[in-house]
Amino acid sequence: MSFLSNIFKKETSVLGVDIGSSAVKVVQVKKKRGKAVLETYGELALGPYAGIEVGRAVQLPAEKIIEAIKDILREAKTTTLNCGTALPLSASLITFVNIPPVPDKQMADVVAIEARKYIPVPLSEVLLDFSVIPKEEQYVSDDETTKTEKQGQEVLVVAIHNDYIRDYQSIMAGCGLNPSFYEIEIFSSIRAVVDQGIATNMIIDMGARSTKLYIIERGVLRSSHIINKGSQDITLALSKALSITVSEAENMKRTFGLKGGPEYKELTEIITVNLDYMFYEANAALLSYQKKYSKNVSKVILTGGGVLLKGFTDLAKISFQTEVTNADPFGKLETPAFLAEEFAQAGPEFAVAIGAALRKLAELE
């Protein structure tokens, strides 16, 4: 009997896969006594696969991405092929539309009609998904909803080109992985770093190529924005201004950041100028949201490898004048206590992979 039960034992370990612009990350978790337990994780820079420096954003052919994923799966000693995969925000079109009150069974057709105004290709060429934004009255009192029923409904619409999905399916198949879903990285991040509650938070995700801003209210995405500057822009600016190689600039940035002291005054100034631009853009998005909805953002959550720059959080606190904290996605997992400091430091880089793994784990329930 025990022999048969072992044969049919349900797979409990799952992977979250995040293929970023400069690195690929994987996180393997399992469910144990009702908790998500970390089994292994790993990160691998993609720059070397394109013959360029670590930390640089790359556009790799599928075979190189497959090679990199196989390498990190081997290095991290993962033991399962069942996974969820995050797609970059740049692969999608995200918009909000207002539709008139309609029965639930007609919702999809009405959303598709409205979405055509925003999607520049035939709907047959995209995978379309949507989510109705709950009205505030629904949180307060069902009786109060009647006064807004005639105002229609706000809907979050996400479109991904079918070609992009097929490319990812090909990559996953080439790695031997079995993904049950592909989701935009925004939603993986939200799952991993935003706590339950009614507070409005802004997530700043600083990658190598770009910086993404998401405003989350009651756990629901309400606004997204891309700043076309990322951590590699700081490296390239340092390389040019200091007449050093890109590799040397990356090393200086990682070693000293904004904490280099008086002897690294020029380094500090160059980094600060670049971050000031990003913070200015982020503040503009934040103020625009607050003005539109008459609501304050109570916390700014920092994710992405770029925010690990020394002194980044301190500068962000000055810029935003509100609570600023580094994301702690490993806090959603059971991890070895003696590595708590290491996980706190690595957390912002693994938010997307952990978020994808948590969704995949929930599928087992």
pLDDT at 137: 54
CATH number for 99: 3.30.1490.300
Is there a domain that residue 131 lies in?
yes
Unique residue bearing structure tokens 């879903």: 181
Beta-carbon contacts of 19 under 8 Å, excluding residues fewer than 6 positions away, are 65, 69, 85, 86, 88, 171
Distance CA 20, CA 247 (A): 20
Per the rule left: phi > 0, alpha: psi between -120 and 50, beta: everything else, 257 is left
Distance CA 172, CA 167 (A): 9
Is there a domain that residue 141 lies in?
yes
Is there a domain that residue 156 lies in?
yes
104 DSSP assignment: H
Domain holding 135, by residue range, is 94-160
- Residue 303 · residue 189 · CB < 8 Å: yes
pLDDT at 5: 41
- Residue 176 · residue 81 · CB < 8 Å: yes
Is there a domain that residue 307 lies in?
no
φ/ψ of 248, rounded to 5, equals -65, -40
Unique residue bearing structure tokens 């990559």: 171
Is there a domain that residue 223 lies in?
no
Number of domains in the chain: 1
- Residue 151 · residue 126 · CB < 8 Å: no
- Residue 194 · residue 209 · CB < 8 Å: no
Is there a domain that residue 364 lies in?
no
334 DSSP assignment: B
| Beta-ladder partners of 128 | 159
φ/ψ of 66, rounded to 5, equals -60, -45
From edge to edge, which strands make up the β-sheet containing 35-45?
A: 35-45, 23-32, 13-19, 82-87, 178-184
pLDDT at 308: 95
| Beta-ladder partners of 17 | 26, 85
pLDDT at 262: 85
φ/ψ of 196, rounded to 5, equals -65, 145
Is there a domain that residue 318 lies in?
no
Unique residue bearing structure tokens 């807004």: 148
Counting every residue written for the chain, the total comes to: 365
Is there a domain that residue 137 lies in?
yes
Distance CA 75, CA 77 (A): 5
pLDDT at 1: 39
pLDDT at 211: 96
pTM above threshold 0.85: yes
- Residue 280 · residue 206 · CB < 8 Å: no
Unique residue bearing structure tokens 């989350």: 216
Q: How high is the mean pLDDT in each 10-residue block of the chain (365 residues)?
A: 44 92 97 93 96 92 97 98 94 91 90 92 92 70 49 89 95 97 95 89 96 93 94 96 94 93 91 96 94 91 96 95 94 93 94 98 89
Picking from 22, 15, 20, the residue whose alpha carbon sits closest to that of residue 235 is 22
